[in-house]
Amino acid sequence: MIVASDFPRLSRDVIPGLLEWLDRFEIDVEWIKPSVPGAHSRAILLGKGWLDSIIHVGSADSPDSLKGPNLGWLAVEEATLLPRFIPGRQEPLWVVLFSRLRVPGASNTADLSGTPEGRQCWICDPGRFETAPTDIRQMAAWQRDYRVIRASTGSNVFLPSTYEQDLRNSLDPSQVREKIEGYSSARVGGSAYYAFDRTKNVVRIKYDPLRGEVRIGLDFNVNPMSAILAQFHAGKILVFDEISLPDSNTPAMARELTRRLEALHLRPAAVEVYPDASGRARQTCGESDFNVLRGAGFTRIKSPPANGRVRDRLLAVNGALYHLRLLIDPRCAGLIRDLVNVTVDAAGEIVKTKANLTHLSDSCGYVVVRLAPVRRSGV
């Protein structure tokens, strides 16, 4: 069985790649319908000469569909993105997958690949891949059953020659050790924006029409609804203004943005907006937030179908802060407060318990991931 961390990766990466290799070796295949209707699990029957073998493919976001078949081999793509437990149950997902390896005479082995995601990741749990068991009696089995092969990004001969250096230029030293060299970082919890340095990242910035168009990051939370205004010039994101409207809605934010832009002699259609992707369907006033913005003249809305992972956004923002590619004017006191005070929990997720925090930094993060994203290294 080949398992992807989620269904989009299964359909976008795993299945097309598998079919390409089977076609390259001229192996005839036949699709088998899933046993559970609608499940994110399918199977491929290989043609004669391959002992009529079956390759199951599935995604970890539909864990119940992975149960059933006895497996002689298991491969997991982006394994570090798997949840520790099956959602809604205290049943370790990895144990469920591992327990399917029970075909007599087969290798009954599992091969996992992925990029380290911090010491809080399940692969660092005691008795798993990266960490020895706490019970000394389990040491022999752990040493027999688990092996870690660490490869740096630079050893991947299929990447462009400048890829590794470009990646290093977007990460801070702790991120380089994890995302390029393959060692799980020991950071667990603490400051979300640990690379922020007020003596370096806060400088006087004013809007300058010679620096190009204005970019707006927008968070649709209603109390407060938040936005930052920035320019992207010479590889740097220059944040020169912020908006935070308590107990508000999208029409009110559109009016305030228009007012700020008019003071700069700009029209809404002249700027790019990078909003929270939930605004595609979310409503704060009877119609979708995106439609409200378009009706107010903000026609250049740049948003992915869904928001990316929070940890990827934090990675991009910290990299931009460390390399001084994200600079902030001191008048943006709310954003600066966020960068100092926002924290993450042990799982690396942003703590959202304080209503006045996180929204301006989220708005800034939407701009950073659009203009200065960190590409996954494939370690």
- For the chain, the first-to-last Cα distance in angstroms comes to 22
CATH 3.30.420.280 residue window(s) in the chain? 198-371
Q: Is the dihedral of CA 79, 80, 82, 84 positive or negative?
A: positive
CATH number of 198-371: 3.30.420.280
Contacts 24+ apart (CB under 8 A), 27-36: 34/65, 35/68, 36/64, 36/65
Query: Whole-prediction pTM value?
Result: 0.68
Render pLDDT for 170-188 as a digit per residue (tens, 0 to 9). Answer: 887 778 888 888 887 755 5
Burial class of residue 286 (count of CB atoms within 10 Å of its CB; 0-12, 13-18, 19+): exposed
Task: Give residue 270's pLDDT.
Answer: 96
Render pLDDT for 225-263 as a digit per residue (tens, 0 to 9). Answer: 999 999 999 999 999 999 999 988 999 999 999 999 999
Residue 138 has pLDDT above 90, yes or no: no
Between CA 58 and CA 14 the distance in angstroms is 9
Task: Give residue 189's pLDDT.
Answer: 63
Residue 107 has pLDDT above 70, yes or no: yes
Render pLDDT for 333-358 as a digit per residue (tens, 0 to 9). Answer: 999 999 988 988 866 788 888 878 89
Residue 127 vs residues 14, 59, 135, 267: alpha-carbon distances, Å: 28, 24, 9, 59
**Mean of pLDDT over the chain:** 85
167 compared with 201, residue with greater pLDDT: 201
